[in-house]
Structure 1
């Protein structure tokens, strides 16, 4: 645990990629195998289930530290992270420990089986043996909110360098539904297992964004395959030896959540892997993403849900054909083979569609066609170089996403809350409102929250404003004098009975601070509803 806590602290203290890789490489070279395995699991978002709820952890901390609840709340509000707050408040250790990370992970997993009094006793014993960084990491793991602050790809790079393996091989081996309690480090990373490879997907190839101003730098249109960019769940359908598996981009096995896809997957030849997008679809039309959300997170998909939220797979690419990895083929060759695969099963494959190719003579013509995106439930275009292989991760040059400009609305800042992590000392999470007239009275109606888009300097200025213009406090939230106006961008809009405004926005963020606009000139609820009528729930 000492070694892992040191790694956590050191990673948090540097922003340099090469330094982070070096720290990880050194850790993987010296840590015990089970510790390495659990570290890989954390980077892959595989964590033990939460054994203790936050309410109990807060109560035990206040009791052990002898602090009143109001002081805990104020401290938590300022620090912004529960585990860090607890680790800073707890008294210094009375003992020492030198157990490996894996020991403490097992310790946490055993807590789930205990009654509350036994859990408390075991947690206090652990805290009393640990330094502040160790308590921080231990408590983070206990709350199941563990994030190390570096990408999974960076961890894979470090592990591959240390193990002297190709990065793509390591990435491939770490894909899939493996359990740290059931595999060894060697069997997962160093050895190739036929049984594991049967269901394992490939690492996804991701695109970088490109703007309209940059588009001319990509050369001529005929160098690119252009497709609509759909808004669904990116997935791979894997068919091997008369079995099929559906994997999300988040490496979650979702086969049971989309049983419709079995209807065509089992008709595909063994040794076929297709990359595509799971989309809500009915009567020849793609439905709003909100329809698909009714299926996300459900453990059981009922007949009613299948009827209410039908789906298809829009296929983008072929990664494996006839049992052969074809990722090194050109985009043109892979597309041709994908079309052949689709043609062979199209009569019995109503849930299997090809992503449409878009033809145009120039970028200007494509820009005009792109304006149809929202009416088609698309986000814009995907641009794929015709001679490009299918790569691993987010690489610049061969794949680009050319999205439509976001929808926008000007809102007034009415509430603010302190952020978390590096923003823990600043009011950086905001609630915005638009104007509504009711019974002759003009009032502000909240319509969204947003916390990204401002520079650090702007955020500090807003923080200062919030502290000087607080009207009321509601726990960690402060209401403020409604003076500041911000332009809010968002990708979609839909009806919502859960919000006072009657709408919910998809991916809201701050585009700019409207210094030029007084609060009275912010947009109205009527204008927000007009956007809903134009672009929502089509």
Structure 2
């Protein structure tokens, strides 16, 4: 357990991607099985442990520490894992040797619900503060060390000299602690696995702005709409059907209507949308279905799922990814017409002669509720990851609004001591006069220096507390940038912001001059 704890600490304090890669490569090369496999699963989000809720962690801690002292410490530190790890007292009797990561995982996986608090307490006694912190992060699923699943797999590829694309394909048919995978990485035989239903690593786009755009030749690129849904990969074979997110997460349980409609054979890359009567519904409607393990009949009827196809990776007979985009696109059009799936259609290409013509088309999209445009090089093969050059996303300029800070909450990781998550509102007229209605929440867009100023202002202007959330007196205006506004019955204001971030702190602006709800509602397409 100790080597894994040291790895987490080093990753937290290492900002550069290349340095994180070196830490991961050293760990995976030097750590024996099965500990390194469990660590890989934890970092990549594939480790399934019984979910120990914050209330269970607090209960275990307060059974060994004065509850008042613990709560005061937690309020000051702002992070449950850090507080518990540091405040845990020395055990009354000498503990046994520190457990390895494999023992910790096996112990928790085999424990009953009633046994878990006692086992967790016993494990805490055998660990130092650093390892206790790592254990709590394991149990709560909140690594937050700046390592994505792809970065972890990249470390395997670079550390052992194997192709990243092959590692990613094998990844989704292997189980932790990945003994067969590491045996292959170290020179053994490739794991035997049926890859027909496996996730294919997705090709991603880079953002582009006008200056760089002028260096590209319009004739080399195809353009299509960047739809406001989520990217998916739909795979159907004789043996089964799968619907994957862009990270390889299985979305099938939330979209059984799509799985039922996938009567074709092949692997399609596209956008998951809610489409009713031929019209794409707002992203907020799609969001109500995401992450569900079970979907009601009413939801299936009112929010019908749909795939708008971008690309064809496999046509049921052969892998097409090595072909140029134009060839894949032509095959996709023929394939879609031949199969005629009721919940799948083709994302249309947008004809254009030059960039100004396409820019006008992009700028007109706001009224249609679309995000922007995708530019795809016609001769490019389909390559997993985010290669620079073949695919570009050309988003329209963001919207902005001046909003009033209403609530603040401490962040996580390096921000756990700062109030860095901000809820803001706009004015609405009521019978009792104007009042603020929350319209969004943001935790990015500001510098470290601005975060210190915001934190200082929040602490000086707190009025109420609601668990970890602090209300502040109205007094500070934030200029918020966001990609779109949508009507939403889930929010009291009746609207939802897409990707809000703080653009500027308006220390100079009176709160009375912040925007009104009716101003924001006028930004909703249609």
TM over 0.5: yes
**2:176 is the counterpart of 1:180:** yes
- For the pair 1:487 / 2:479, whether they are aligned, the reply is yes
Distance 2:490 2:199 in 1: 38
CA displacement at 1:191 relative to structure 2: 4.7
- In 1, the alpha carbon distance for the partners of 2:449 and 2:108 equals 41
- Contact 2:411–2:418 (8 Å) recurs in 1: yes
Residue deviations 1:458-506 (CA, integer Å, cap 9, x gap): 1111112222333344443333332221111223333444534232323
In the alignment, structure 2 segments of 5+ residues that lack a partner are none
SS at match of 2:323: coil
Return closer, same or farther for 1:20/1:191 CA change in 2, 3 Å cut-off: same
Cα gap change, 1:188 to 1:342, in 2 (>3 Å): farther
Equivalences for 1:65-464 in 2 at 5 Å?
65-68=65-68, 71-92=69-90, 94-111=94-111, 113-115=112-114, 118-176=115-173, 178-180=174-176, 184-186=180-182, 191-193=189-191, 195-217=193-215, 219-241=216-238, 243-262=240-259, 265-268=262-265, 272-346=266-340, 349-439=341-431, 441-464=433-456
Give secondary structure in 1 for the equivalent of 2:425.
strand
SS of 1:281's equivalent in the other structure is: strand
Cα RMSD, aligned residues only: 2.4
* TM-score computed with the length of structure 1 as normaliser: 0.90
- Quote the offset at 1:209 in angstroms: 1.5
- 1:308, CA displacement in angstroms? 0.9
CA distance in 2, matches of 1:114, 1:312: 39
Contact 2:36 2:177 (C-alpha < 8 Å) held by counterparts: no
Q: Write the distance in 1 (CA, Å) between the matches of 2:109 and 2:476.
A: 48
- CA distance 1:182–1:406, change in 2 (3 Å): same
Equivalents in 1 of 2:365, 2:77: separation in Å?
Answer: 42
Secondary structure, in 3 states, of the residue corresponding to 1:199?
coil
Contact 2:197 2:237 in 1 (8 A): yes
Residue 96 of structure 1 contacts residue 130 of structure 1 at CA under 8 Å; is this kept in 2? no
TM score, norm. by length of structure 2: 0.92
d(CA) in 2 for partners of 1:108, 1:274 = 39
Aligned partner of residue 394 in structure 1, secondary structure:
coil
- Name 2:62's counterpart in structure 1: 62
Q: Number of residue pairs matched?
A: 522
1:461/1:172 Cα in 2 relative to 1: closer, same or farther (>3 Å)? Answer: same
Deviations for 1:398-448, whole angstroms, at most 9, x for unmatched residues? 211111222322101132222221111211111212223333633333322
Unpaired runs of at least 5, structure 1? none
Kept after mapping to 1: 8 A contact 2:170/2:193 = no
